Structure 1
Amino acid sequence: MKTQTLIKLILVCSSFFTISICVSVLILAKTKVVELSYSPQVSQSDPTTVDHLVFGIASTGNSWFRRKQYIKLWWNSIPNKTMRGCVFVDTLPHGEKANNDASLPPLCVSQDTSKFLYTHKGGLRSAIRLTRIVKEIVAFNHSRVRWYVFGDDDTIFFPHNLLKTLSKYDHRLWYYVGSTSEIYDATQVFGFGMAFGGGGFAISSSLAQVLAKVLDSCIQRYPYLYGSDARVYSCITELGVGLTHEPGFHQVDLRGNIFGLLASHPLTPLLSLHHPDHTDPIFPNMPTKKSLQHLFEAVHVDSERILQQSVCYEKRLSWTISVSWGYSVQVFQNNMVLPEVLRVEKTFRQWLPGNVFKGIYNFNTREYHREPCKRPTVFYLDEVSSAKYGSISSYKRHFQNCSYNSSMSKLEVIKVVTDELHYDSKQTRRRQCCDVLPSNAGKLMEIAIRECNYEELIFMN
């Protein structure tokens, strides 16, 4: 505050206020000036781009050779953009250099953590090293950072969707964004307020700067915790910040076939997938890496729409049709109400065998029928391409040794036409509608996905 202004305010106070009120006014005036002098120069209205993100990826020298194939899927996947970040390892892999491949982030050797106490009997001491990724990545002092994003070397991110989601939040405020496990047992043990590290999580730069300063002292109070994500969560909790839940982050604490999870994705952008080594390939008759590459063919065409579920009804045949765009189409040969279709089919197994709680999930489920012929007929993504105003994708029927009625026995391909999906990230999402179009032959069904009309309901007439 300028001296002349202060003098004028003191003179006014001496004429009209008591001394105590005058002092309060002066303190308030001075405080206001100080707050303004430290206000951020970046406007929240400026769009968040990939240049504002920095990734900290947890890995080891031993796992890097087999896990880097997953990072290659998404690193630098946004055209004409170079992503920033580092893969933290305990030692450099034999024959590997820190910066030898532009399609991958550089490798960084973590600092020594021998001074930290670690007492958890069932865990690995590396949890301390991985916790400190937060501190070490902040210390690199990258410019113009808005968000630090953390994950494992087998976490598959979807960067465009990640940007769209984080742009909802003001990076100048303290945010801790992520999601929990799919299974109740793990969430109950580690906490419903903890972002699971395999699914990935994001910390606003303003919070990360403060967290980095207090992290080492905080770690010392939690030698008994299992993982790095539990320590990060505990330290953020000590700063008084809670989890901002985004269900698009997927820990995937599941085994086997995760078709049910992907085919009934929440009404939110797909942000990450985890544990590809512990689940079946997501497309049949493909190895894991190729099946993920196949999914990314659709991601590159319309990232925001990937796995978004639309449901429509073929009234003439009384079929219920569920489209998980870019992945699959399911045809139920009966009428199903929408809430039942949206339930996650339990095609997968629980993460660990054990008591009944290990088979309870944090979402609505429906049983996977033991008889294949009583399950929906599944059509998997075959081809996808951009069109003038959107996309065209085709899905081929997956073989099921069943006897169908004449209409289903003929159907081999489903073609889906859409416009490009552009959601305002700050608006509440609404599920899109779809229509079964008149087809030229019994082998082909054509479906158009569109925005629902203002008062339109999705139901069987």
Structure 2
Amino acid sequence: MRNSAAKLPPRRLKLLLILLFTTSTFYLLNRHHILLNLHCPSPPTTTSDLFLHTSLSSTPPPATTLRHLFFSVASSASSFSRRLPFLSLWYSPNTTRALLFLDKPPLSPPPLPFFVSSDTSRFPYSFPRGHRSAVRVARIVKEVFDRGESDVRWFVFGDDDTVFVPENLVGVLSKYDHEKWYYIGSNSESSEQNLRMTFGMAYGGGGFAISSPLARVLSRVLDSCLMRYPHLYGSDHRISSCIYELGIELTREPGFHQLDVRGDLFGLLTAHPLSPLISLHHLEIVEPIFPRKNQTEAVQHLFKAVRADPSRILQQTVCYDHSSNLTVSVAWGYAVQVFEGHLLLPDILAAQRSFTPWRRRGINIPSQYVFDTRDYPQDPCKRPVVFFLEDVASGTGRVWSKYRRNNSHSCSKPDAIENLKDVKVFSKKLQHNAGLVILSVLHREKLQLLAMAPRRDCCDIIHPFKKSMVIDIRHCGVNELIAMNP
């Protein structure tokens, strides 16, 4: 029997073969897609689906704790002894993993572990009137990682006069995935300093954190990278430049404070941003932050409140007294200000320029700073009445703090203010959630994630008051405004 296909013209035979090939290909692809779906479910398409998918398919790592942080402190054999009072405020040998990096062996051993940095004479340094120690300090990133410390999620860097609040730093870093590349810190408060250096750099005195995976890669390339930057001034500028070359930019957290200002920090500390205080720097250069105390005593006094409620320290709460026409601002753990009249909240949140620019010849105008500022009256009688922290106590989740009136000036005030001697503030201990609340709700094997931006607390002035004012800090109602009622 002759083949029927042989009777078809070549043109029709070609079309038939193309049709058969297309049909069979479509069938095979469709069958493969069905089998693939049976074994591999579709990827999540929404945030909640993504969280559910990752939560049910893998066990989340344990929460980040202070033991997952390793602090590297840049110091020298000549400076560390006079900076020990600052170091002792936040370092504890039982809970804090830290290493002091020195330029040479000390005459007497410091109270925390130390490491003498390697020789850096092979690295060029050409910044006029700069300090070659910047190269040594930059290489601390490599030296600390090469030690092979176990179970470190974050490497934290600072100077020997950097004062950290470790509990708050843990809370802030917990927001980020430590298995990814992160470079976290903040720039200078001074516009001029940022212009001279860069706005994209974490200033070393304020401290910064590098995730362990990024530190691993950076340690491999740092030495070769440093050869390209002899013209830069500081260690922090060198580190940021090398991190830039790896394709990573700074993640800003406003709780790191370089404090590139001079003089009286009052206006800055009473207008802290709505984020946890992480660090303070240059505290031996500025004026004491409490009256009738030296720099060291003043910071030690502040840390009484830090230990009672670290998350709430310096957090600003504002409340109004309609009957007495007063506005009260509480910078928790530091100072309470009582203003005459009704001040709008945005006006209070701007920092009073009680301080001066870092560059001594600079004019003290708003453009000198990277945050909102307002005038600080030269006449003390035009300023609010200030009550500074006197004592603090805590127990069963509640905290009590007392603020004593600063009588440094004799000014005539309304009776409601004139008679006040102290202010007592009651509050609940603020939890270390850094603005993130996770609700684990078991319902049909689903987990729900709720992320909340941080919100300022409200407060009530307890009546009546004469010599002593009592303030209760609480969460604001859903629709509550921080404003004086008409």
Q: TM-score scaled by structure 2?
A: 0.83
What is the aligned counterpart of 1:178 among 171, 185, 201? 185
Contact 2:398–2:427 (CA<8 Å) still a contact in 1? Answer: yes
Question: Does residue 278 of structure 1 match 2:285?
Answer: yes
The equivalent of 2:123 in structure 1 is: 116
Q: How does 1:97-246 map to 2 (within 5 A)?
A: 97=109, 101=111, 105-246=112-253
Check 1:92–1:121 CA distance in 2 against 1; reply closer, same or farther (3 A cut).
same
In the TM superposition, what is the alpha-carbon distance from 1:188 to its structure 2 partner? 1.7
Check 1:356–1:379 CA distance in 2 against 1; reply closer, same or farther (3 A cut).
closer
The equivalent of 1:51 in structure 2 is: 67
Structure 1 outlier segments of 4+, above 2 Å: 42-45, 353-359, 423-427
| Alignment length (residue pairs) | 420
RMSD of the alignment, in Å? 2.2
Check 1:405–1:357 CA distance in 2 against 1; reply closer, same or farther (3 A cut).
closer
Amino acid at match of 2:401: S
The 2-side partners of 1:294 and 1:456 are apart by 34
Contact 2:399–2:428 (CA<8 Å) still a contact in 1? Answer: yes
More deviation in 245-254 or 358-367?
A: 358-367
In the TM superposition, what is the alpha-carbon distance from 1:210 to its structure 2 partner? 0.3
In the TM superposition, what is the alpha-carbon distance from 1:357 to its structure 2 partner? 9.0
The 1-side partners of 2:342 and 2:463 are apart by 20
The 2-side partners of 1:67 and 1:207 are apart by 30
Question: Does residue 454 of structure 1 match 2:470?
Answer: no
The 1-side partners of 2:204 and 2:149 are apart by 22
Contact 1:151–1:201 (CA<8 Å) still a contact in 2? Answer: yes
The 2-side partners of 1:436 and 1:261 are apart by 24
Question: Does residue 70 of structure 1 match 2:86?
Answer: yes
The equivalent of 2:404 in structure 1 is: 396
Q: How does 1:197-346 map to 2 (within 5 A)?
A: 197-346=204-353
The 2-side partners of 1:45 and 1:325 are apart by 34
The 1-side partners of 2:238 and 2:405 are apart by 46
SS at structure 1 position matched to 2:161: coil
SS at structure 1 position matched to 2:217: helix
Q: TM-score scaled by structure 1?
A: 0.88
Question: Does residue 434 of structure 1 match 2:464?
Answer: no
What is the aligned counterpart of 1:381 among 382, 389, 400? 389
Amino acid at match of 1:351: W
Contact 1:64–1:93 (CA<8 Å) still a contact in 2? Answer: no
Q: For 1:287-325, what per-residue CA distance to the aligned partner results, in whole angstroms no more than 9, with x for missing partners?
A: 111111111111111000000000000111110000000
The equivalent of 1:10 in structure 2 is: none
SS at structure 2 position matched to 1:320: strand
Q: How does 1:73-88 map to 2 (within 5 A)?
A: 73-76=89-92, 81-88=94-101
The 2-side partners of 1:324 and 1:193 are apart by 29
Q: Any stretches of 5+ residues in structure 1 without a counterpart?
A: 1-12, 30-41
Amino acid at match of 2:476: C
Bigger-Rg structure (1/2): 2
Contact 1:254–1:348 (CA<8 Å) still a contact in 2? Answer: yes
Q: For 1:84-129, what per-residue CA distance to the aligned partner results, in whole angstroms no more than 9, with x for missing partners?
A: 12111101222x12xx53xxx3111000001111111121000000
The 2-side partners of 1:453 and 1:200 are apart by 36
Question: Does residue 424 of structure 1 match 2:440?
Answer: no
The 2-side partners of 1:106 and 1:387 are apart by 34
Check 1:355–1:411 CA distance in 2 against 1; reply closer, same or farther (3 A cut).
closer
SS at structure 1 position matched to 2:386: strand
The equivalent of 1:33 in structure 2 is: none
Q: Any stretches of 5+ residues in structure 2 without a counterpart?
A: 1-24, 41-57, 437-451
The 1-side partners of 2:100 and 2:341 are apart by 49
Between the two proteins, what is the percent identity of the paired residues?
A: 47
Contact 1:134–1:212 (CA<8 Å) still a contact in 2? Answer: yes
The 1-side partners of 2:235 and 2:335 are apart by 35
The 2-side partners of 1:111 and 1:452 are apart by 54
Q: For 1:25-45, what per-residue CA distance to the aligned partner results, in whole angstroms no more than 9, with x for missing partners?
A: 9xxx9xxxxxxxxxxxx9654
Check 1:333–1:168 CA distance in 2 against 1; reply closer, same or farther (3 A cut).
same
The 2-side partners of 1:302 and 1:207 are apart by 32
